[in-house]
Structure 1
Amino acid sequence: MKDDEQRREEQEDREENHQRERELAEAKARGDEKEPLFDDESVRLGDLDEALKSHDYPTTTAESVAAYGDYELEIQGDKKLLEYVLSSTDDQTYDSAEDVRRRILGVIGR
């Protein structure tokens, strides 16, 4: 009986070691990944975030560009106008500030 118990404990120890090794390998692999561009949505869009919250919805991409196209967004250390960022997208309808924000973040996250 003791031999069986000892073997089970050894097996559990080996499995735990393998799990730790896998976790270390995954952490090393993730070390090569780039950090996210931004940490939270309010920082991502700065003043534009507040402007979008006060906008009347629904709205379209074209209307958003007309209203806020001159807002500058910082993208990987570079500043780009919202008009430039959204110019590559199709005209869509947005029901809320969150919808517009998601679209902008989706475009700049590419």
Structure 2
Amino acid sequence: MDWLQGNIGPLFDAIDALAQGAVDGLSAVLMWPAALVMVVVFAALGWWLRGWKFGLGSVIGFAVIDGLDRTLKAPWARASSCTPSAAAASGRPFLHWARSRRT
């Protein structure tokens, strides 16, 4: 581990800065509107992308978070879970394109 940090430590620092910037930026976006607005946005997005069951599940999940009075930590948790999900979702069309390009 010391060898990795000594030789490619700046790469690890860049990855850390990129991930932290993405989480901080997404957290700032999610903290801006009221929590109820975010519930409606995510429920509508879930319904549109995955169906009514997913939209209902997101409403129930956010109701549980609100019921546990974790609203101050919830945007950070949403940002931490949305960042990899967005990366995976953006890579999926590329995967389909790459599969169709086989020779």
Q: TM-score, normalised by structure 2?
A: 0.36
Higher-Rg structure is 1
Greater relative contact order (Cα < 8 A, sep 6+):
2
TM-score with structure 1 length normalisation? 0.35
The answer to which structure has the higher strand fraction is: 1
**Which one has the bigger helix percentage?**
2
